[in-house]
Structure 1
Amino acid sequence: MKLKITSWNINSVRLRIGLVTDFLANHAPDVLCLQETKTPDEQYPAKAFEKAGYVHQAFIGQKGYNGVAIVSRLPFSEKDAMAMCGRNDARHMSVVLDKGAGAAAGIAIHNFYIPAGGDIPDPALNDKFAHKLAFLDEIGAWGIGKRPTDRPSVLLGDLNIAPYEHDVWSHKQLLDVVSHTPIETTTLEKLRTELGWTDAARTLRPEPEKLYSWWSYRAADWAATNKGRRLDHIWLSDGLKPALRDLTFLREARGWERPSDHVPVTVELEV
């Protein structure tokens, strides 16, 4: 069975629901995980997803910021949303595909939206950066305590860190820029490796290939300057690593009308 799972920071699901449903029609992932939905639950466009064939949905949101969602053509159960760092700020949602999902049954999917961290990479001067580091620490503690990689699992989302040299357009120029500072990249990589996750993108497309999933709105011509970063990630537990077949970044989505500044990242597994 081929299983396709997409992660996409949509930067307002209601504003871009047309882009999302077009993507679903043209690319047909089995599961779509969204971040930064920016929508309270009562205004979430559930009916649009149902009409598109994605009747299984789990979402948690807030007005104007944060928010995560999982929509699926396959049934799931065991929905859970963790309140990270003692804040109910809608940055995590998980589900487990159930017996109706065929060979994919039992796979857990964890959708995270890690804080961006503000502009100053100093936790003593910037509460947002301190929150980001605390969030990473809490993911580490959760991973040790719950051991999610003991079962077939996928951890994905906008992790807001570009960990490798070729995950950014200029390693040297971005070393003191939030998302690529040594404390962030080292912490994320230590967390990933110690908890037993595999970076799907770099497994199939290792360094020094440049890989980006985000391009700033500030660029007058994002495509020409190509100053991107790989902020969106898909990680696999060891049990799913042999199932990895493909991973794609839909770069063209950044050029769509009124796009998100992130593009969809899709993993294909054979389970």
Structure 2
Amino acid sequence: MTPLVAVAVLIAAVTHASWNAIAHHVKDQLVSFTLISGGGALLGAVAACFAPIPAAGAWPWLVTSALLHVGYMALLMRSFTLGDFGQMYPIARGTAPLAVTVLAAVFVHEIPDPAQLTGVAVACAGLTGLALWGIRGRGARPDWPALLAAGATGLAIAAYTVVDGVGVRASGTPLGYIAWLMILEGLAIPAFALATRRRALLPQLRPHALRGLLGAALSVCAYALVLWAQTKAALAPVAALRESSIIVGAAIGTVLFKERFGGPRMAAAGLMVVGIGLMLYTS
């Protein structure tokens, strides 16, 4: 991985945590994700005017990825509705590399080496700490519906990461791929919101329009940088470096949302980052 690619992925990590924070800040999650998804579709449509159309071999991956992204958005909305940002975001992001490692060992017979197995153990310890140390008060029991939603979000991230890693390389145009991905995935949630909220939707969107469109721009920027990086470096180290957003998300939850994160949860988030690095170190 060249320094330029590494910097791009680090910028993507910060922008990703930032747009997730914007999404969480709007209490009505359907309004929030309607603006972010719809804004992403608009930006994708503009970009598509200036980018080549992806090659034919990329379109099955594009369609599959769009469906996975819609599922990811729905799960992320549910996570943010149920739990604190400083807990849900690190669990969702940290679950994805763990899932990739386990699934690769079971289905592809890519058995981790000792360093990677150590990383799995360390990352699992960090995830357990994030799940069990309650934010809302000492002695609080884990909020299992919220934790399950965040974990399922991580599985969706793992799935679309692999699909997009193959698809963007087959497309011949990273910009064209991200543009059409934003178009395909960005229409589902606004369409659902319009069908369920009807005339009430526009007045609900208006107060949050600027914040939502900023979130859309950050979302597109973050994933475009990751997709470009995946054409320049192996998927595993790109995925590992991208998960540095876990620490950014933990800090945002503490500083901006005044969530009681504390030393134990910060240590747990740090364990996750170290574990993910060990898992993918030899890739």
Give the TM-score of the pair, scaled to structure 1. 0.29
Q: Does 1 or 2 have the higher relative contact order (CA < 8 Å, sep 6+)?
A: 2
Structure with greater helix share of residues: 2
TM score, norm. by length of structure 2 = 0.28
Bigger proportion of residues as strand = 1
Larger radius of gyration: 2
